[in-house]
Structure 1
Amino acid sequence: MSNLLKKKSWMISFVSVLTLSVVLTACGGSKEASGQKVTLTYWNGFTGPDRPAYEELVKQFNDKHPNIQITMDISPWDALLAKLPTSLASGQGPDIASFDSSLIPQYAKGNLILPVDDIYEKGIDQKVMAKSLVDAMKYNDKLYAVPANTATLLMYYNKDLFKAAGIAAPPTTWAEWQDAILKTTKTNGTDKQYGLVLADHATIPMWPILIWGNGGDILSTDRKKSMLNDSKTVEALKIWADLVANKGISPVNLTGGDADKIFASGKAAMEINGPWMAGGLNGVNYGVAPVPAGPAGKATLANAVAMVIGKNSKHKNEVYEFMKFWNSADAQAYLSSKSGFPPTRTDLNDNAQVKSNPLIPQFAAVANDSKFYLAGLEQFSKIDSDIFTPAIQAITNNKGTVEATMADASKKLDALLSGK
């Protein structure tokens, strides 16, 4: 058959399929609309103490949608991520999956998930979500996910250590913060009390918050150029690296788990952390407050778990119903009250269920001051593990000046971004 005939044959087949699709749609092609029961599979890693809250939310959806039933497959995140890409690529994957939003570029570039721009036009209102959260659901300016959950970071502080140091209220500015940190950093023989524990690897990103607070950044706005060598970035790192390396406000080379243990043991006055930390602080008289504002203003970190549609799902409309339900006001109020995480929406601070846990409105209140770390970048892992983290560890261990270290890191980052 000639190429022309092949082309005509393909076009005829395509038109026929398209026509059939239109007819089916007009006649109510969705199985839900026709009364047929649809079962959707949802893979996620919600194995923690908040698992019952997610299971109950799915049950609520199933009870309200007898023709759409969600079956959840819950496994540890590492096990999920080991099997998910292969399963999706082979056509055996789930209709719905959840994973950290930083992985969206990997799955979108691999054509393993479907774009969902239209759900934000049909049922999920972007205006009731923080812009940074919606942007974190994107890859190459297309939306590929809706949020399954989100979290912001606040400053935890030990009220007893504050009282002993004569600090009446949590600091609100960098000047107050640094003063409080130094007042609560003490050495008594081999016994050490730290003002602020700052993890530098295997952790939620804490150091970017300090950079943002001074007006610096890791990347330029268009994400094509390194900002690690920017004067505001370098200035911030000089201030905080000096406090760690030379004034001993925090141990060096801490993982996130290490930092948590020090604060939970009462050996640190402050830590930057998320809502999950509260459950491990039995016996600590603590409070939470926004991360103190730097010279450039308020800044904190946000993170999210994304909810996506597997590329081979035949039930996009039904998945959309589930996604809309999940991000509805009622569902988010319930999930927030039970999980301890702030809602994905910013319009629920006065909701009675949300306010039933006094910490949640405080985490929710900083959503619009929050940023995502390296969101939407395919090179996320390389930038973090090969460039940024080693640079932070170098300057906190006095293995080079901040200027020289960040200049070298900036060159590496620019080379990675340009594909060299």
Structure 2
Amino acid sequence: MRDMHRRRTGRAIAVAAGLSLTLAACAGQGSGGNDDDPSAAGDGQPTELVLWHGLTGPDGPAVQQIIDDFNASQDEIVVQPNVMPWDVLYQKVLTSLSSDDGPQVVAMSASNVPQYASKGALAPLDDFFSSDSYMDTSVLPAAAKEAAVFDGTTYGVPLNIAPMMLYWNKDLFAEAGLDPEKPPATWDEFAQMAEKLTVDSNGDGKPEQYALALGDKATVPIWQMLLWGNGGGVVSDDARTATLDSPESLEALEFWVEQVRDKGVSPIGLSGADADKLFQTGKAAMEIVGPWMTTGFDEAGLNYGLAAPPAGPEAQVTLADVVTFTVNAKASEAQQEAAKTFFAYWNSVESQQTWADGSGFPPTRTDIPAEDLENKYSAIFGDPDLLGISKVYLAGVPSSGTITDSIFYPALQRVLNNDGDLTEVFTQASADAQAAIDQG
């Protein structure tokens, strides 16, 4: 396997070396073809790629290590990371991609790719997958590759794939008289256990301990994922029809709103960071989140377990969060080629071992045996059975950002705060989502 990696890395470096001929023809071109931009190679200078990403958590050092390794592996390309929180990145990215001095490479959730691709802001990357010139892409998980496809064209190369799992605090389960080795396997079991795990000692309606930390804003789409368990969802699988008003979606929403609003199993108004902190400080017994939190929870000394999220009445399914590398459509030809060389390096065997061992994420490759990984969480989150029930949220929907941030979450928060009837609010939200889909 390592010999295979050396051959593939050799091909990648050969591509980088071959860029010198292309660079001579493109000498002086900047990120958008600006002749005064020094970031494009010329006169023997390496091609510079500015990379924006939002991996600011415990997984950040592993990202930087691979970038450092790549920069040290050759002298034709230099990747310069610009790290910022995801919400800041998304506020700035469209304007930046439209600018001649914007970043050449942007990492983003694959669910956000369609809205930028539909505006012509991203360069197509079909050729990365159509031959072995860069790497053998057959080893990349199908879900991760397909997540960045919009209107038949691929606009992203996987940075990571992260199935969500249920974390449960074994000590809090034991204190509640529950078996610490048996988390809830179904929604009904969750509801039964949640009653014992929600502790409001003085009866003031503000529990000292919550059964669940469930974010309802600025977080990965866990609420949306829960609808799939009842056969519902936000948008149909073909990305054409809003389904928030379907009986299946409304029934799922009724179940979980009752748990949170009426039974108080989770606080209302949590962001993703708030939910993480609540579980990390032992004030919530469960959380559904990805592998990036394993390091932080371990450092906090939590005694926790990991399992697939509880199965709904119709399906056991989990969210696969895919972050993908995209290329600015304004990047020069030389910069686009350099970016693909870096993507191949990122997805090489050695780099993915570095990534998995340093982050707890599963590798983006399917050909790395679990026994070759030092981080136990990489194998847990990369379990084939877990990946087999994983689904990407709003894949191929150009208006995904609008539907999530301007329609779904405001509707959810209205209902959680008793501002309107659930059926009426989400029927209107579904109509709004359909209008957003139709507008593209």
Q: In the alignment, what sits opposite 1:152? A: 163
Taking a change above 3 Å as real, the CA distance of residues 280 and 59 of structure 1, as seen in their structure-2 partners, is closer
Q: In the alignment, what sits opposite 2:364? A: 344
Matched-pair contact (CA < 8 Å) for 1:185–1:249: yes
Q: How does 1:153-172 map to 2 (within 5 A)?
A: 153-168=164-179, 169-172=182-185
Taking a change above 3 Å as real, the CA distance of residues 80 and 178 of structure 1, as seen in their structure-2 partners, is closer
Taking a change above 3 Å as real, the CA distance of residues 418 and 176 of structure 1, as seen in their structure-2 partners, is same
Task: State the distance in 2 between where 1:47 and 1:261 align.
Answer: 15
Deviation at 1:187, TM superposition (A): 1.9
Q: In the alignment, what sits opposite 2:325? A: 307
Residue of 268, 275, 279 corresponding to 2:284? 268
Instruction: For 1:314, give the aligned amino acid.
Output: E
Q: In the alignment, what sits opposite 1:362? A: 380
Unaligned runs of 5+ in 2: 1-16, 25-43
Matched-pair contact (CA < 8 Å) for 2:158–2:323: yes
Taking a change above 3 Å as real, the CA distance of residues 127 and 55 of structure 1, as seen in their structure-2 partners, is same
Deviation at 1:32, TM superposition (A): 6.6
| Larger CA deviation: 40-49 vs 330-339 | 40-49
Q: In the alignment, what sits opposite 1:199? A: 215
Residue of 55, 72, 78 corresponding to 2:64? 55
Task: State the distance in 1 between where 2:367 and 2:223 align.
Answer: 29
Deviation at 1:170, TM superposition (A): 1.7
Taking a change above 3 Å as real, the CA distance of residues 53 and 245 of structure 1, as seen in their structure-2 partners, is closer
Unaligned runs of 5+ in 1: 1-27
Instruction: For 1:291, give the aligned amino acid.
Output: P
- Say whether 1:137 aligns with 2:148: yes
Task: State the distance in 1 between where 2:60 and 2:256 align.
Answer: 37
Matched-pair contact (CA < 8 Å) for 2:47–2:338: no
Match of 2:333, SS state, is coil
Taking a change above 3 Å as real, the CA distance of residues 62 and 263 of structure 1, as seen in their structure-2 partners, is closer
Instruction: For 1:60, give the aligned amino acid.
Output: D
Q: In the alignment, what sits opposite 1:238? A: 254
Q: In the alignment, what sits opposite 1:296? A: 314
Matched-pair contact (CA < 8 Å) for 2:356–2:363: yes
Deviations 1:106-161, CA, capped at 9 Å, x for gaps: 43233333111121122355543333322221222210110122322111111011
Deviation at 1:80, TM superposition (A): 5.3
Task: State the distance in 2 between where 1:52 and 1:220 align.
Answer: 37
Match of 1:305, SS state, is strand
Taking a change above 3 Å as real, the CA distance of residues 392 and 373 of structure 1, as seen in their structure-2 partners, is same
Deviation at 1:34, TM superposition (A): 10
For normalisation by structure 1, the TM-score amounts to 0.83
For normalisation by structure 2, the TM-score amounts to 0.80
Task: State the distance in 1 between where 2:104 and 2:218 align.
Answer: 31
Q: In the alignment, what sits opposite 2:49? A: 41
Taking a change above 3 Å as real, the CA distance of residues 323 and 283 of structure 1, as seen in their structure-2 partners, is closer
Structure number with greater Rg is: 1
Q: Percent identity?
A: 37
RMSD: 2.7
Match of 1:115, SS state, is coil
Residue of 6, 10, 20 corresponding to 1:31? 20
Deviation at 1:82, TM superposition (A): 6.1
Task: State the distance in 2 between where 1:222 and 1:55 align.
Answer: 37
Q: How does 1:117-132 map to 2 (within 5 A)?
A: 117-123=126-132, 124-125=135-136, 127-132=138-143
